[in-house]
Every structure is written in C-alpha cells, then in structure tokens.
C-alpha cells in the first residue's frame, strides 16, 4: 500500500512525540508499564487514519501540532484499552511479548492506564474544549464496550470496544480543521471501519464467524458519500479503504502489515 510520504512523515513525528511519554515518571515499574506498548507498538492504525484523513482534507495541516497531538492522543487511549483488556482477560502475552500485567502485576497495569488517561486529558485540553467533550464520550463508550466484553457479550461489545477510537480518527480532523459539514459522514465511515476491525480481530483470535458482505457494502457506500463532498481529493483514502476491505475478506486484516 502506497501511503503519501507526507502522511508517513507526520506519523514519524507522532512516534517521536509518543517516545517521550512517561519518561519523567520516577517509579521504575510504573514507568515501564506506561511505556510498554509505546516501545512495542502495533500498526498504529488510529493515528495513521487520522493523518490520512487530514491529508485528504488539507495536506498542509499535517504540520499543525494539534493534528500530531490528536494522533498521539488516540494511540494513548488505545494503549489504555490494551492495558485494561490485559487485566480483564488475564492476557500474559500480546504481540509475542509478555504483557505489563504479567511483568508488573495487575495493580501496576491499572495504575499505568490511570496515568495514561491523565496524559490523554492533558493533550485533549490543549486541542479544544470541544475535543475534551467529544473524547470523554469516546472514553465512556469504550468503558461500556469493555464491560460487555467482561460479561462475555463479545458480539454486543464490538460497536463500543473498537469503533469509537477509529471513529475519532475521522472526527478529530473535522473538528480541528473546522469542517463540521463532514462530521457525520466522517464519523459514520470511522464507526463502520471500527466494526470491521473488531470483527476481523474476533475471527483471528477465536475463529468467530461473521458475514462481512453487508458491512463491506456499507463501508463502500460511506466512502461514496464522502466522495460527493470531497471529490478526487479522497482518492488516497479510497485506496487505503479498499486495501483494508481486501485484507478483511482474506482474513489478514489484523495480522498482515499494511
């Protein structure tokens, strides 16, 4: 997949920004738990989507520090969800390495998630009051999804556990760039892609079967709605979404490199 070099450069800045998170924490175990998933990152799909959508809206705004901050913030909230999920599900290994709960205990993993929530709040405040309010709602939905997951209601949890942060990857640029006209269609596409990622993750982890065709059709329809508003500017995002859909059909969305 050919991602615009401007997007990759901005993603590099996000990684540099995140590389400093938690460095000043005095307690060694807490510092290590906070930084664990920063130092062993995944695909960073949420920051990547945020940066790619920003590029589609206005490539020059990739230089906006609020965009870089928002991209890092979404990854911080994702890490919070990983730390809490590890504890709730008793995961000892993730991405081929021991989890923070396995290394430092459940208590330290939860405290690390608390610290990162504070980091996310601090970052949201520096963006705008609207961002704080919106992201608080995202965090509440994530908590509800985690609660359903704890109760074993994985299918019901899907829309709340993964979708909110991927939705946020599309909503945050519309807020920062003041493109409120795009908020609803952008949020709809993000929510649908979030469902696709969760369903794909469920199938990869548990062999769960889901019919993807209706969801894929909804995603393509959502992209067409945005095309009507953005024209050919949307092409890089269209290509990326088509790759995501192909990987979902192949069963490699959550395992293959982008």
The confidence score (pLDDT) of residue 210 equals: 65
Question: In 3D, which of 121, 132, 129, 104 has the Cα closest to residue 31?
Answer: 104
Q: For the chain, which residues make up each domain, given as ranges? A: 5-182
* Whether 81 contacts 121, CB under 8 Å: no
Cα–Cα dist 24/14, whole Å: 19
Task: Report the predicted TM-score, pTM, of the whole model to 2 decimal places.
Answer: 0.94
10-57 tens-digit pLDDT: 999 999 999 999 999 999 999 999 999 999 998 999 999 999 999 999
186-227 tens-digit pLDDT: 999 999 999 998 888 766 555 555 678 899 999 999 999 999
Q: How many CB atoms neighbour CB 59 within 10 A?
A: 15
Helix or strand (DSSP H, E) at 57:
helix 45-57
The confidence score (pLDDT) of residue 257 equals: 64
77-132 tens-digit pLDDT: 999 999 999 999 999 999 889 999 999 999 999 999 999 999 999 999 999 999 99
Question: What residues have CB less than 8 Å from 123, skipping those under 6 apart?
Answer: 69, 70, 72, 73, 76
- CATH of span 5-182: 1.10.600.10
Task: Quote the strand ranges of the chain, DSSP E.
Answer: 93-94, 97-98
Question: In 3D, which of 86, 92, 102 has the Cα closest to residue 149?
Answer: 86
What are the phi and psi torsion angles at 93 (to 5°)?
Answer: -135, 135
**Percent of the chain scoring above 70 in pLDDT:** 94
Q: Of residues 152 and 69, which shows the higher confidence score? A: 69
| Average pLDDT over the chain, rounded to an integer | 92
The confidence score (pLDDT) of residue 156 equals: 80
- The token pair at 175 is 């807020």
- Which stretches within 207-258 are classed as H helix? 213-230, 235-250
Label residues 201-228 b or e (16+ Cβ within 10 Å = b).
Answer: bbbeeeeeebebeebbebbeebbebbbe
121-156 tens-digit pLDDT: 999 999 999 999 999 999 999 999 989 988 988 778
């Amino acid at each position: 997949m050919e991602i615009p070099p401007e997007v990759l450069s901005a993603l590099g800045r996000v990684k540099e920004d995140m590389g400093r998170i938690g460095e000043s924490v005095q307690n060694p175990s807490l510092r290590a738990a906070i930084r664990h998933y920063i130092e062993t990152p995944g695909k960073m799909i949420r920051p990547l989507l945020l940066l790619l959508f920003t590029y589609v809206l206005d490539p020059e705004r990739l230089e906006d520090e609020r965009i870089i901050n928002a991209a890092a913030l979404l990854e911080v909230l994702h890490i919070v969800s990983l730390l809490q999920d590890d504890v709730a599900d008793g995961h000892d290994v993730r991405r081929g390495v021991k989890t923070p709960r396995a290394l430092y205990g459940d208590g330290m993993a939860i405290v690390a998630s608390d610290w990162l929530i504070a980091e996310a709040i601090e970052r949201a405040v520096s963006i705008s009051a609207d961002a704080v309010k919106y992201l608080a709602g995202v965090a509440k939905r994530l908590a509800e999804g985690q609660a359903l997951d704890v109760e074993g209601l994985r299918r019901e949890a899907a829309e709340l556990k993964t979708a909110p942060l991927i939705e946020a990857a599309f909503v945050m640029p519309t807020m920062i760039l003041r493109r409120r006209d795009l908020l609803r269609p952008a949020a709809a596409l993000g929510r649908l892609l979030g469902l696709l990622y969760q369903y794909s993750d469920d199938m990869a982890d548990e062999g769960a079967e889901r019919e993807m065709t209706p969801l894929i059709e909804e995603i393509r329809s959502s992209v067409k709605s945005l095309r009507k508003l953005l024209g050919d500017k949307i092409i890089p995002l269209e290509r990326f979404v088509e790759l995501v859909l192909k990987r979902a059909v192949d069963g490699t969305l959550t395992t293959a490199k982008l």
